[in-house]
Amino acid sequence: MNLRDIFIGGIVVAAIIILGRIIIGSPFITRIAESFVSGSTPTPTNIITLCPQDSIMYMYDGRAYCCNGTVNANAHSAKQSCIPISGRDAKSIFCSLGPSSSEATNCLTLKASLMKAEAATFCPSAKPTFVQDNNSPARCCDPPGGNSDYTACVAGSCTVASSKDPFKVQGSCQYLKAKEMDGACPTGSKDMDVPQANGTTVYGCLKGSTICYNASTINRLKIHGHDTSGMNTC
């Protein structure tokens, strides 16, 4: 073996030693070692195995996160690893599938707040819990509400229709919520669902043989582009 071979061999051994020290000292290996020594693995209080709707799971520094923006592979911190989506109505999602930390909120905790916000938009008071599964339409649940990860209802429910027009789908969550917001029928009349010629359904008030509509309902119909000519105000 000549001097050149000895020199190259020394460089290789040195590189292996340095690489080994880097791996052993990495945060991910350190966490594994700490778990092995303690004999236990930290368990998050809130468990969720799937990312919230429209977000993807990825790994950063040995931990699982969910992001509905752009994953930044060159980030220097977990917070920078998810670039938020932009837009006026955009709901950015960045959360951890493990426990909450200063870097990211636990996904189930985040999902609970997202579902609460959606409930305020879509759910009538009788069905106050919003749930959504990636493979089925969103729903609003009767009490006692949804399951532990907000993907299904425990009791009865209504379906959140894809249309923003509450009159498009009779019995949808939007229809029931709008009906609740527009108020009860006047004393001496009863509420009824009135099919329209254009295929929509409008909730009205029947007194004797006459049908009338609350002023707020007629105004809501106009907002969604419906013809209200010939509709009597209660």
Which residues make Cβ contacts (< 8 Å) with residue 175, sequence separation at least 6? 161, 166, 167, 169, 201, 203
Average pLDDT over residues 94-117: 90
Please tell me the number of Cα atoms within 13 Å of 48 on its side-chain side.
Answer: 28
Average pLDDT, the chain: 81
Q: What pLDDT, on the 0 to 100 scale, is given for residue 16?
A: 52
Give tens-digit pLDDT for 188-205. 999 999 999 888 999 999
Q: What pLDDT band is residue 48 in, cutting at 50, 70 and 90? A: low
pTM listed for this prediction: 0.68
Q: What pLDDT, on the 0 to 100 scale, is given for residue 89?
A: 63
Average pLDDT over residues 37-43: 35
Residues constituting the chain? 234
Q: What pLDDT, on the 0 to 100 scale, is given for residue 86?
A: 77
Give tens-digit pLDDT for 136-192. 889 999 999 999 888 899 989 999 999 999 999 999 999 999 999 999 999 999 999
Q: What pLDDT, on the 0 to 100 scale, is given for residue 190?
A: 92
Residue 225 predicted with pLDDT over 90: yes
Give tens-digit pLDDT for 10-23. 454 444 544 444 44
Q: What pLDDT, on the 0 to 100 scale, is given for residue 35?
A: 32
Q: What pLDDT, on the 0 to 100 scale, is given for residue 39?
A: 37
CA angle, 98 then 79 then 95, to 5°: 35
Q: What pLDDT, on the 0 to 100 scale, is given for residue 49?
A: 62
Residue ranges per structural domain of the chain:
3-38, 43-121, 123-159, 181-234
The answer to whether 82 touches 71, Cβ cutoff 8 Å, is: yes
